């Protein structure tokens, strides 16, 4: 290379350095003039993707501790606002609640929610309000929860009966707790929807039952979270890794199964018209039957897609999340014998050993509710709440937030922030004693979300959790394998699950054997 070539290369490097420096300075000045939230330095095209590692909620925790509780990120073509303080949550979901009432449009949402007719993902507006009203009246109202209590009770009793049977009345039995809790929640949901359990009692705790449950999960539990194609739309156009093709195929399998249930329900209704009275039919009506009845009277609103999307929502939102919370609660209790003994004493004192615990007993078991609240604080089923989407420009914490920004709430960090919780890493159910008596405490405890799009099924989930956990503790003694501490490492996904399924040893309590033998 001669002298002139060398000089030309040096000039090129200078121009490139000047160009990049100018962009950096202009970017800093723009952010300062716009009063945007703090943000790490981003790379071209990919933005801040290089800073995110699994589990994502812990990566965001690290960034929030460094840059503050209101954090701006750029992920490909998407702008993200991450909040991790109660005050920011309150501002987003009170003053700006309508602005953040939408969900971001995603490829998974498009294919897995019947083009966003699902109540969880439907755009905010008149249609969504009608869906929410339908859920509130037909599924989650106090009256509806009372009607469905018999299903929860019967399925909990069925699980206890199966455990007692496999133990031969007294032998300690090794079981996988995650599977037990999943069978319970799937059967409850399936009976509410179709009137029949997902797995029958005779095959529940067998390899046949496990295979059937796995097949159901494989069909229903594709992630609704955003994928790389949502951040880089060009990848969707080129069919990157067949992601969208896989979604379309899975959506077809789901649709075929849902249509089968609906058709079966219609046939059962026709065959039962001559054998039941109208009053009996209404009392025994399943959720699918109720939705089909509304479909007949309001076909424009309650379309076939709406019927299927609500049915799908009940499975996705009402099974694995509750089952996983049960597993976390049992794992925490096994690692904290003092708490376990205190809870067991409360149940023995208030319910006794002559009959099984039922939902009417739950109001007399405040420490059980404290244990569940503390479990949801430490291990919220969705550590990053479902994302929201800003419909217009607004301000949060004094910072300007642009229209089209995706809002992410890091419940994991809020629940473990030492500024709001004393010794936040410690499992201490007593911290919830005397609060949550019919009113929300503050925005520092948000396991079910917050605002107008908070989870409508919170009441049902808490009833199921309380009844199942309370009855299992009332009837059986529980121990870890080899009496070792339970590994509490979590895995982040759509639902926060344990890295290793909880395997435990259970045996009937001597004081409840007579009662269990009569089930």
Binding site listing: 455
Quick check: 166 and 507 in contact, CB under 8 A?
A: no
Question: Computed over its alpha carbons, how large is the radius of gyration of the chain?
Answer: 26
Alpha-carbon distance of 245 to 233, in angstroms, equals: 15
Backbone angles phi, psi at 236, to 5 degrees: -70, -40
**Crossing angle for the helix pair 320-335 and 458-475, to the nearest 10 degrees:** 40
Listed in sequence order, the residues at least 6 apart from 136 whose beta carbon sits closer than 8 Å to its beta carbon are 456
SS3 of residue 280 by DSSP: helix
Alpha-carbon distance of 175 to 504, in angstroms, equals: 6
| CB burial of residue 494 (10 Å; 0-12, 13-18, 19+) | middle
* Residues contributing to the annotated binding site for heme: 455
Neighbours of 44 (CB within 10 A): 7
SS3 of residue 174 by DSSP: strand
Token pair belonging to 351: 């319910």
Neighbours of 38 (CB within 10 A): 15
Alpha-carbon distance of 127 to 132, in angstroms, equals: 9
Token pair belonging to 391: 């419909």
Alpha-carbon distance of 310 to 194, in angstroms, equals: 13
Token pair belonging to 372: 């569940």
Q: CA nearest 194: which of 270, 144, 146, 260?
A: 260
> How far from chain centre, in Å, is Cα 206?
27
């Amino acid at each position: 290379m001669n002298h002139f070539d060398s000089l030309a290369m040096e000039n090129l490097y200078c121009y490139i350095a000047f160009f990049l420096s100018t962009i950096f300075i202009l970017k800093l000045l723009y952010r300062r003039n716009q009063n945007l939230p703090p943000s790490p330095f981003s790379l071209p095209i990919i933005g801040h993707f290089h800073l995110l590692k699994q589990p994502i909620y812990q990566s965001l925790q690290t960034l929030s501790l460094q840059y503050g509780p209101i954090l701006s990120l750029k992920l490909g073509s998407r702008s993200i606002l991450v909040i991790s303080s109660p005050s920011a949550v309150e501002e987003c979901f009170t003053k700006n609640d309508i602005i953040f009432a939408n969900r971001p449009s995603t490829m998974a949402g498009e294919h897995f929610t019947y083009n966003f007719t699902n109540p969880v993902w439907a755009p905010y507006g008149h249609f969504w309000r009608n869906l929410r009203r339908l859920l509130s009246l037909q599924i989650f109202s106090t009256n509806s929860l009372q009607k469905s209590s018999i299903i929860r009770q019967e399925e909990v009793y069925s699980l206890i009966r199966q455990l007692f049977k496999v133990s031969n009345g007294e032998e300690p039995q090794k079981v996988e707790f995650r599977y037990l809790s999943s069978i319970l929640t799937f059967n409850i949901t399936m009976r509410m929807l179709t009137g029949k359990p997902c797995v029958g009692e005779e095959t529940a705790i067998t390899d046949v039952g496990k295979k059937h449950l796995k097949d159901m999960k494989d069909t229903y539990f594709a992630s609704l979270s955003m994928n790389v194609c949502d951040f880089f739309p060009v990848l969707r156009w080129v069919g990157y890794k067949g992601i969208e093709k896989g979604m379309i195929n899975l959506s077809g399998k789901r649709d075929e199964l849902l249509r089968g249930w609906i058709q079966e329900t219609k046939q059962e209704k026709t065959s039962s018209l001559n054998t039941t009275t109208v009053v009996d039919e209404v009392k025994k009506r399943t959720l699918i039957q109720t939705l089909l009845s509304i479909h007949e009277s309001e076909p424009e609103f309650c379309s076939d897609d709406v019927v299927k999307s609500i049915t799908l929502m009940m499975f996705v939102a009402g099974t694995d999340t509750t089952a996983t919370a049960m597993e976390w609660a049992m794992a925490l209790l096994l690692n904290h014998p003092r708490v376990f003994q205190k809870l067991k004493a409360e149940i023995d004192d208030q319910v006794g050993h002559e009959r099984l615990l039922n939902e009417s007993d739950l109001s007399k078991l405040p420490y059980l509710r404290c244990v569940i609240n503390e479990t949801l604080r430490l291990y919220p089923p969705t550590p990053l709440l479902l994302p929201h989407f800003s419909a217009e420009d607004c301000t949060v914490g004094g910072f300007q937030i642009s229209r089209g920004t995706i809002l992410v709430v890091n419940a994991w960090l809020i629940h473990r922030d030492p500024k709001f919780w004393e010794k936040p890493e410690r499992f201490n159910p007593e911290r919830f004693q005397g609060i949550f008596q019919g009113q929300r405490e503050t925005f520092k405890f948000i396991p079910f979300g917050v605002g107008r799009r908070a989870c409508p099924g919170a009441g049902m989930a808490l009833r199921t959790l309380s009844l199942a956990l309370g009855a299992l503790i009332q009837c059986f003694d529980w121990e870890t394998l080899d009496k070792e501490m339970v590994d509490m490492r979590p895995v982040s996904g759509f639902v926060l699950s344990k890295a290793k399924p909880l395997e435990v040893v259970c045996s009937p309590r001597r004081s409840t054997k007579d009662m269990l033998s009569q089930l």
